[in-house]
Amino acid sequence: MKRIAIVAIAALATGPAFAADPGVTDTEIRIGDVNIMTGAASFIGRAVSVGSKIAAAEINDAGGVNGRMIKIITEDDGYVPSRSFQALSKLIEVDEIFALNGTSGTANVLAMMPLIEENNLPTIVSTAPNELVYDPVRPSVFTLGASYSDAFYAQLKYINDNVDIENPVYGLIRQDDDFGVAVEHGYNRAVEEFGVEDAARIRFKKGTSNFSAEVAQLDRAGVNVLANGGIISGAANILSEARKLGMDIQSAQVWSEDMPPSVNLAAQAGYDYYVADYVALTGEANDAFLETAREYVSEDEIEAINRYTYVTYAALHAMAEAMSRCGEELTRDCTIENLRQLEDFPVGGIMAPISFNNENQLSGTAVSVYQLDADTQTFTRLTEFVDY
């Protein structure tokens, strides 16, 4: 992979660099990362951390941002929103970070939002691109990734257009929270546009592990096209219950279900399910990324790489590009303004080029649809990146 160029602007005068905001010295820029480093979802956090590490090492190896080296400071939130707030408080007050690149889940970033806004903290939300993050738009917050709504619509559209199902009957199962609402938005759009039978909508509490009653309800309704809004073990348990009942279903899943640990769980049910993702899961870009990654991280960290690694890597490169355009006088206001102006910034093909110069300060909205081969636990790309 050709390394993404970081603009190096030479100082025009001698003397110390100007730094009006915290987190910047003559030699260093401190970037915060609030992440899921412990608990059942820690493999997500570890992947995010590896993405930041690879990007920072690559940028620093190329001379940094106008000679300043990027330092990543990570705080664990355990996927608990109250801990996310505490973690960011520590990063701001003790570590004096300049910007934020790791933001954990949807509820977590929303819990941190008052601190982000109060401190005018340049932030790229790269792991939870929920509509609630960018609607309303917060001036210093930029979101990277498609919405869950578009991802589910894309999968259901592919099934509707390409899979021959006699008497399609649609059903939805989703968490009873903001994430689940976003999933249902995509489902609503699909069933209304396709004019198909909408037979069942089921909500469950986050943390539910036994879905026997819920899946039995889907089965009684005759559902054969399922919007599966479970995550990781939840999604796998839903599919497992469907298999026990002998359900013949086409299942659309959250993009978390394209990660190896999730696939290992869910593939056991034997369904060749779908996912839609705004990062590339297969192809030359992935091969080139892994080749680059091996220059900077250990084999254990290579094993931790998944789709969250790619998007966080891309986000930090976008942040570095915006900071580099500020020259020596690096400030949060300047970085935010340059993020707003970012257009078609290339990230090596691991996702579509990044553009934040729109009213939502949102990029990476194009998704590809993939299908799992449950026997080999590999994905086939079914569509190119498309905006829905």
Weakest-pLDDT range from 97-101, 104-108, 199-203? 104-108
Q: How confident is the model at residue 208 (pLDDT cuts 50, 70, 90)?
A: very high
Give yes or no for a contact between 235 and 274, defined as CB atoms under 8 angstroms apart: no
Query: For 342-382, what is each residue's pLDDT tens digit?
Result: 999 999 999 989 999 999 999 999 999 999 999 999 999 99
Q: How confident is the model at residue 11 (pLDDT cuts 50, 70, 90)?
A: very low
| Mean pLDDT across 227-254 | 97
Give dist(CA 98, CA 337) in Å, integer.
15
Give dist(CA 83, CA 112) in Å, integer.
9
Domains of the chain (ranges; CATH) run 28-146+281-357 (3.40.50.2300), 148-277+368-381 (3.40.50.2300)
Query: For 281-309, what is each residue's pLDDT tens digit?
Result: 999 999 999 999 999 999 999 999 999 99
* pTM of the entire predicted model: 0.84
CA distances from 95 to 86, 174, 320 (A): 13, 38, 19
Structure confidence at residue 132 (pLDDT): 86
CA neighbor of 307 nearest in space, from 134, 129, 91, 180? 129
Query: For 61-95, what is each residue's pLDDT tens digit?
Result: 999 999 999 999 999 999 999 999 999 999 999 99
